[in-house]
Amino acid sequence: MLAVHAARSAIKVVLQLSCFYCYRSFTVVRDVIVVGAGPAGSYASYSLSRMGYDVLNLEEHREVGKPVECTGLVSARVTGMVRTRSGVNTVTGAHVIFPNGERIHVHKKEKTIVLDRDSFDKDCAGQSIGAGTDLRIDSRVRSVKVTEDSATVVYREMGTLREETARIVIGADGLNSRVRRDLFGTRSSRIISAYQVDSAAKLEDQDSVEVYVGSKVTRGFFGWATPSGNITRIGVGAHGGASLKYFNNLNAKFGQNKILGINGGGIPIAYLKKTYADRSLLVGDAAGIVKPLSGGGIYTGMVSAKHAADAVNTAFEREDFSEKTLSMYEKGWKSDLRSELWFDGMFQRFFSMISDGAFNRIYSMISDPVAIEKINEVGDIDYPSRVIISLILRKPGLLRNLLPGRI
């Protein structure tokens, strides 16, 4: 791997020198341009740089990690992929609070990590730079174009318009992906609007998140309060409308005048049908590779980034950047995630239609110790549908309450 890296670096230097001394109009063609330095973009850049490729990573903001639009809950699978000390808390439990005020408490042996997303993103990008990535901040991509033999990106770096060309481009530029718009001709279609604050309110149980369901606090999603070190992150998500009124209802439970900062954003919860094209791939939020039930997209984004790097590597080995070769990217990420995203998507659609009465009946059906034990045994933050499927198999009557129109 090191030999490949050294050879590629040498070729790059020779090309740059020949460009400088001989052919002023000659363009140095990069191996890969990655647009966006969130977790998915940084992980794709890191994986490819480690393989010895010349990677340019363009990030529109002046600081990686800012602004924060995340609660930061991840499993140890994520912290296994990045050297990071950005954890601010760990939790093992969740209180689920139903519309009638009743609650159940579930817990796991494995810890869920609460990240400081700003530091986490910087650690991801730092790891990628360490592997050789050329990261440019304050570099907003304005347009992307693919021709038969290259991909060209026009971007504004610190106010100056520039152009770079590569053999392949990866769009890791989040919900409003420019790469997706320019090369795939679409935008995200199903979006959860999330409103979150950093609050000075203190949760009694620092080892558990609080999850709220019901029409007062959400439409088609849920509300949450997460103990995050010195602060509590309180938020709600809503599908098909603004989330602020739900947030106000939820936040009232935590007392007045505790808000330290407002953050939030959109969460794409439907993945794009085709995430590859000639000389281009979409990863993470840009492709909608996010768990629709929980809105978690860090793990899924990084998994997709790893598969993207493997597919790009194969394309270089075959010297074939056509969508035929790159289709292996989609096969790869779907083999890991498709069934989870599919079940999640289906349950999320049901949840967006069920009534408070049905939620309260679900509470009565799952609050017995045997059901709670099952939840504790099967629950997995990265695969949330598993717990619902196992509960339905144990108590098929639950299905009746998931049907639309049940009061």
Report in angstroms how near the CB of residue 58 gets to ligand FAD at its nearest. 5
259, two tokens: 């808000």
Task: By CB under 6 A, name the one of 32, 70, 166, 282 that touches ligand FAD.
Answer: 70
Contact between 332 and 287 (Cβ < 8 Å): no
Report in angstroms how near the CB of residue 140 gets to ligand FAD at its nearest. 4
Choices 240-248, 260-268, 361-369, 388-396; region in contact with ligand FAD by CB under 6 A = 260-268
Would you give the binding string for ligand FAD spanning residues 165-204, x where CB under 6 A is met? -------xxx---x---------------x-x--------
- Does position 156 interact with ligand FAD (CB under 6 A)? The reply is no
Report in angstroms how near the CB of residue 377 gets to ligand FAD at its nearest. 22
- Residue 206's alpha-carbon distances to 88, 106, 239, 328, 388, in angstroms, are 12, 14, 29, 43, 25
- Residue among 356, 363, 350, 339 nearest 404 (CA): 350
Q: Quick one: how far is CA 170 from the chain centroid? A: 15
Choices 48-56, 89-97, 198-206, 261-269; region in contact with ligand FAD by CB under 6 A = 261-269
Report in angstroms how near the CB of residue 302 gets to ligand FAD at its nearest. 8
Applying the rule CB under 6 A, the residues between 32 and 51 that interact with ligand FAD are: 35-41
Preceding amide of 384 cis, omega within 30: no
For ligand FAD, the closer of residues 196 and 325 by Cβ is 196
Task: By CB under 6 A, name the one of 52, 126, 220, 265 that touches ligand FAD.
Answer: 265
Report in angstroms how near the CB of residue 367 gets to ligand FAD at its nearest. 25
- How many degrees, rounded to 5, is the angle at CA 184 between CA 145 and CA 271? 145
Would you give the binding string for ligand FAD spanning residues 209-248, x where CB under 6 A is met? --------------------------x-------------
- Does position 118 interact with ligand FAD (CB under 6 A)? The reply is no
User: How far is Cα 64 from Cα 112, in angstroms, rounded to an integer?
Assistant: 24
Q: How many residues bind ligand FAD (CB under 6 A)?
A: 39
For ligand FAD, the closer of residues 31 and 60 by Cβ is 60
Would you give the binding string for ligand FAD spanning residues 274-313, x where CB under 6 A is met? ----------xxx---x----xxxxx-x------------
Report in angstroms how near the CB of residue 80 gets to ligand FAD at its nearest. 14
User: How far is Cα 339 from Cα 20, in angstroms, rounded to an integer?
Assistant: 51
Report in angstroms how near the CB of residue 174 gets to ligand FAD at its nearest. 3
Contact between 105 and 158 (Cβ < 8 Å): no
User: How far is Cα 199 from Cα 210, in angstroms, rounded to an integer?
Assistant: 14
- Residue among 350, 280, 267 nearest 311 (CA): 280
3-state secondary structure of 319: coil
Contact between 323 and 276 (Cβ < 8 Å): yes
Report in angstroms how near the CB of residue 407 gets to ligand FAD at its nearest. 30
User: How far is Cα 229 from Cα 118, in angstroms, rounded to an integer?
Assistant: 14
- Does position 60 interact with ligand FAD (CB under 6 A)? The reply is yes
Contact between 163 and 266 (Cβ < 8 Å): no
Whether the CA torsion 339, 345, 349, 351 is positive or negative: it is positive
Contact between 85 and 123 (Cβ < 8 Å): yes
- Which residues of the chain form contacts with ligand FAD (CB under 6 A)? 35-41, 58-61, 69-74, 140-141, 172-174, 178, 194, 196, 235, 264-265, 267, 284-286, 290, 295-299, 301
